[in-house]
Structure 1
Amino acid sequence: MCSDDEKGGSRILSVISVTTLASFLTGLNARLAVVGLPIIASALNADVDMMLWIIQGYMFGSTIIQLIIGRLSDLYGRVRLFNLGFLIFICAAVLAGFAPNPYVLIVARMIQGVGGALLMTLSVTILTDNVPRNSLATWLGVNQVAWRVGAVAGLSLSGVIIDVMGWRWIYLIYVPIGFIFYLWGMHTLKEAYKPEEKPRIDMGGFTLFTAFLISILLSLTMFTLGTTYIQMASILLVLSLIFLAIFVLWEIRIQQPALDLRLFKIWQFTGGITAQLLYSIGFGSFSTLLILYLEIVRGFSATSSGLLIVPFEASYLVFGVLGGRLSDKYGYVPVTVIGLISSATAFLGLSTINPSSDVNMIIFYEVMFGFGTGLFLSPNTSSIMTSVPAGKRGVASSLRSVSANIGILLSLNVAILSMVQYIPYDVASTLISSKGVENLGGYTLADLSNAIAKSFMTQALAMLAAIPFSLSRAIKRGRKVKNE
């Protein structure tokens, strides 16, 4: 007969197997279409704004649904919603694969974002519910490494899939893979969390937050279009801040909010969430900027460019688990700070690139960034999740995901805004849509390279800004222990 410890260990491994597969699937999704995006845009006759929304659509759907995911998981349990995420992801993949125009593809990507959010957010929550606290950061690191394995597979296979099977299989390939993972999840996962509250969904908060997110994204998009749209962009920006202020007031006043903002009274939680947001602003446009540099400035093919980004993902595979183990042994603060410093240093290095930069040096900076990412993400996630009561972990996971997604959504807009300070928007539009480098309007590839480099500098500053929030948690924690 198996002992209780053996049964517990077997159950934990079963849970980890499912959450790892979910992370792999969403990682594959995040990278599989990145390299082939110009081909997809050309096939569907999409302009630059549509291209941006194809990229942002997934993150938009993922972000707005976070408000409902956290509350629903705390009310009804995690497993049922997690398995539903697989089905939504699969159905959206079918819609995206047969999309007749960019509008349908954007909608499909938004729906797929909903499924992806269910998988990613609840995988963290399910792990927290089932894995011992003293090893949680390590297994979160494994979970995030699985995401990177999917990302590496996506970057490595994307060119081959497009060349051999056509761009639509970039999405359709998720159907058989996702269905197998869904069956395994149904067979394996058992609910460990028992809801304690009566069901009530905060639709008012959901509506206000969605209005805020739509307004700020449209505002930032219009700011990139030039002086003609500045007035409308400014109005939308002010409107987004008004929606955000009303949302905060609404959430504080109602009894059962979508996001329990009272969690921000816990500084370990607040510092981690803020650091996550700033890190994501730095991280979010990394792949897009590097792809632009490699394909447009350096002239590499889509397949070659995808393979040249693999060193970052491979580096994270190595250091992702290491970050979790170091955090479990030495605490999250020193590990996350070292990770942020390494990431910022890598971006400062990338801010010096030019048309003749040594590719090996670029790979070195990618590896350094992967090292920093590995040391930051899983320890920071663990510190956030363990700072709140068990009954609030679903909401905490949603807040963590919301901060990451908003950062990533803002990152691409910030990167484009930074670039258009050095080259005109119409030139950037031509380059991003891969309509050719022969019509640069007098601007050279060196000018484009400089604009991309300046964007990397902006991302580095965001990484550096996250450091004080990690350090301050050590100070607050030290004072608390002293007082006790």
Structure 2
Amino acid sequence: MLSIVSVTTVASFITGLNARLAAVGFPVIVHELNCGIDEVIWIIQGFMVGSTIIQLIVGGLADIYGRVRLFNIGLLIFSLSGLGSGLATNAPLLTIFRIIQGIGAAFLMTLSITILTDNIPKNMLGTWLGLNQIAWRVGAIVGLTFSGIIIDYLGWRWIYLINFPIGIASYIWSLKSLKETYRPTSNRCLDRIGFILFTIFVMFLASSLTMMMNVKSWGYVIPIFFLISMISLAFFIIHERKSECRALDLSIFKIRQFSNGITTQFLYAIGFGSFITLLVIFIEVVRSYSASLTGMLLTPFELSFLIFGIVGGRLSDNFGFAPVATTGLLMASASLYMLSRLGMSASLEYLMTYVFLFGIGAGLFIAPNTSAIMTSIPPEKRGVASAIRTFSFNIGFLVSLNIAMLSLVSSTSYEIATKLIISEGHVENLNDVPLEKVYMGISNSFLMMAVIMSVALLLSAYQLKIKLLNRSEN
């Protein structure tokens, strides 16, 4: 069991490291590559797009070819694409490598949960899932702590290049330590048509949302892309219901605990997805602090997530997932609201306090909700269930990021927002670039995320009510 935990923990660590190394650096990357805010969004969301589109068949591939084998392939893809990202010479090339790295990360994130669920006793699963999330947060803390230093002294390319040696070392360790315990099902087919339809849906949805930030340039193309996205989604659902070889088993949504957990996580992801990006813009652009200081100011979030990720997993094992997850969502919603009311010149102490409280809420929610989703599904369908869990989060993340950036652009303009981020807030004439309007866009985004997180809270509270009623009847 320890060998399984060690490898999955390392995988979570390096994905967390990668996520936060890149988070702080995007204003510098925009400046160095001289790209627009729509290209910025694709650099940020390219990782999630790659991860999302492959999620649909990760479970099926793992069930056919073996979960450990696909896990190791994911490590290799993740490492090599990190090297490519660091060597990229323009924004489109960097985006392509980030999409490829997202594909590799999808194997790691999905299959680490599946491998743990297959091998850990149910009464200990919450604790070990919590540890898995904590490993991600430890990587994130390391990433935030050192990302600014790496950027300020070595340059932005090294936040990607560092993934290569760490990833290759992890790949070698996994080959030596991890053994396949699940017996692959050789007669299972892959839903290629479903995969193509779902890929079209995600790509055109992400593109249409990004284009909305620059309506002057894209105009009528936006509704066309959005319509193509929705039509693809409709055909995908119809295909999945009729096909005997389907990537997404819609019947598992009839399990109420699973469907409620997925819906709650999706809403949580919309509230959570743009959190770090908004804070980076606020600290580096509005307040004009360095990348190094930005990383340190965001560390309280990762620390609180780390600590209460452990607490959340243990509490869910002892008291059930519903009360712990509901408490976490309550704290996260309140923290987002307080950030929306923070004020442009508020002290850093207030900022760090609210960031810390948000980390507590997020930490309390993630492990219990993941445990609720995974334990509601029979073992033979957990590969697909884990993939659904991950891509529902990723789609929520994409929606969140684009809503936040759209709010930012609508408060100023596409040109001004791009100019601000490229200059990292250091502009000669502030009358031409009103930082107050940029802050208003950030504030409105936090308020919208708080409302969406509150909807997730209501759904979780409903689950808690059902659990309490069932307990009283028994």
Q: State the TM bucket, normalised to the shorter chain.
A: over 0.9
Map 1:448-463; keep pairs closer than 5 Å.
448-463=438-453
Is 1:302 the counterpart of 2:306? The answer is no
* Rounded Cα–Cα distance in structure 2 between residues aligned with 1:230 and 1:400: 34
1:462-482 deviations in Å (ceiling 9; x for gaps):
111112322333455567779
Equivalent position to 1:433, from 405, 422, 441:
422
* Rounded Cα–Cα distance in structure 1 between residues aligned with 2:195 and 2:134: 31
Shift of the 317–91 alpha-carbon distance from structure 1 to 2, 3 Å rule, reads same
1:433 aligned counterpart, secondary structure: helix
Q: Match of 1:8? A: none
* Rounded Cα–Cα distance in structure 2 between residues aligned with 1:298 and 1:481: 51
* Rounded Cα–Cα distance in structure 2 between residues aligned with 1:413 and 1:191: 39
Q: Match of 2:166? A: 177
Q: Which deviates more from structure 2 when the two are superposed, residues 309-318 or residues 96-105?
A: 96-105
Shift of the 261–443 alpha-carbon distance from structure 1 to 2, 3 Å rule, reads same
Q: Match of 1:271? A: 260
2:344 aligned counterpart, secondary structure: coil
Equivalent position to 2:312, from 297, 313, 323:
323
Is 1:469 the counterpart of 2:466? The answer is no
Shift of the 102–381 alpha-carbon distance from structure 1 to 2, 3 Å rule, reads same
Is 1:51 the counterpart of 2:40? The answer is yes
Q: Match of 1:397? A: 386
Identical aligned pairs, as a percentage?
Answer: 50
Q: Match of 2:437? A: 447
1:226 aligned counterpart, secondary structure: helix
User: How far off its partner does 1:199 sit?
Assistant: 3.3
1:34-80 deviations in Å (ceiling 9; x for gaps):
21222222222322221111101111000000011011112222100
Aligned-CA RMSD value: 1.8
Map 1:73-152; keep pairs closer than 5 Å.
73-152=62-141
Residue identity in the other structure for 2:456: A
1:84 aligned counterpart, secondary structure: helix
* Rounded Cα–Cα distance in structure 1 between residues aligned with 2:154 and 2:35: 21
Equivalent position to 2:277, from 285, 288, 298:
288
Is 1:33 the counterpart of 2:57? The answer is no
Q: Answer yes or no: is the 8 Å Cα contact 2:336–2:449 preserved in 1.
A: yes
Q: Answer yes or no: is the 8 Å Cα contact 1:48–1:429 preserved in 2.
A: yes
User: How far off its partner does 1:226 sit?
Assistant: 3.2
Q: Answer yes or no: is the 8 Å Cα contact 1:296–1:437 preserved in 2.
A: no
Q: Answer yes or no: is the 8 Å Cα contact 2:17–2:143 preserved in 1.
A: yes
Residue identity in the other structure for 2:454: L
Equivalent position to 1:70, from 59, 70, 84:
59
Residue identity in the other structure for 2:407: S
Shift of the 293–412 alpha-carbon distance from structure 1 to 2, 3 Å rule, reads same
* Rounded Cα–Cα distance in structure 2 between residues aligned with 1:48 and 1:67: 29
User: How far off its partner does 1:339 sit?
Assistant: 0.5
User: How far off its partner does 1:228 sit?
Assistant: 5.8
| Matched residues, number | 473
Equivalent position to 1:21, from 2, 10, 18:
10
Residue identity in the other structure for 1:151: A
Residue identity in the other structure for 1:471: A
Equivalent position to 1:240, from 215, 221, 229:
229
Is 1:194 the counterpart of 2:170? The answer is no
* Rounded Cα–Cα distance in structure 2 between residues aligned with 1:302 and 1:481: 51
Q: Answer yes or no: is the 8 Å Cα contact 1:427–1:441 preserved in 2.
A: no
The runs of 5 or more residues in structure 2 that have no matched partner are none
1:283-336 deviations in Å (ceiling 9; x for gaps):
111111011111111111111011100000011111001001111111111111
Map 1:153-232; keep pairs closer than 5 Å.
153-196=142-185, 198-226=187-215, 229-232=218-221
Q: Under a length normalisation based on structure 1, what TM-score does the superposition of the two structures give?
A: 0.94
* Rounded Cα–Cα distance in structure 2 between residues aligned with 1:474 and 1:364: 28
Q: Answer yes or no: is the 8 Å Cα contact 2:322–2:467 preserved in 1.
A: no
1:435-472 deviations in Å (ceiling 9; x for gaps):
64445564532222122111100111111111232233
2:377 aligned counterpart, secondary structure: coil
Q: Which deviates more from structure 2 when the two are superposed, residues 30-39 or residues 157-166?
A: 157-166
2:35 aligned counterpart, secondary structure: coil
Q: Under a length normalisation based on structure 2, what TM-score does the superposition of the two structures give?
A: 0.96
* Rounded Cα–Cα distance in structure 1 between residues aligned with 2:466 and 2:33: 53
* Rounded Cα–Cα distance in structure 2 between residues aligned with 1:327 and 1:344: 20
Residue identity in the other structure for 1:73: A
User: How far off its partner does 1:98 sit?
Assistant: 1.2
Shift of the 67–17 alpha-carbon distance from structure 1 to 2, 3 Å rule, reads same
* Rounded Cα–Cα distance in structure 2 between residues aligned with 1:88 and 1:244: 28
Q: Answer yes or no: is the 8 Å Cα contact 1:353–1:450 preserved in 2.
A: no
Shift of the 253–441 alpha-carbon distance from structure 1 to 2, 3 Å rule, reads farther
Is 1:250 the counterpart of 2:239? The answer is yes
Q: Answer yes or no: is the 8 Å Cα contact 2:151–2:291 preserved in 1.
A: no
Q: Answer yes or no: is the 8 Å Cα contact 1:71–1:259 preserved in 2.
A: no
Q: Answer yes or no: is the 8 Å Cα contact 2:205–2:226 preserved in 1.
A: yes
Q: Match of 1:339? A: 328
User: How far off its partner does 1:423 sit?
Assistant: 2.1
Is 1:363 the counterpart of 2:345? The answer is no
* Rounded Cα–Cα distance in structure 2 between residues aligned with 1:440 and 1:352: 23
Residue identity in the other structure for 1:472: Y
Q: Answer yes or no: is the 8 Å Cα contact 1:272–1:469 preserved in 2.
A: no
Residue identity in the other structure for 2:166: I
* Rounded Cα–Cα distance in structure 2 between residues aligned with 1:296 and 1:45: 16
The runs of 5 or more residues in structure 1 that have no matched partner are 1-11
1:82-141 deviations in Å (ceiling 9; x for gaps):
011111011101111111222211111011001111111100000000111111111111
Deviation beyond 6 Å, 4+ runs, structure 1: 478-484
Q: Match of 1:7? A: none
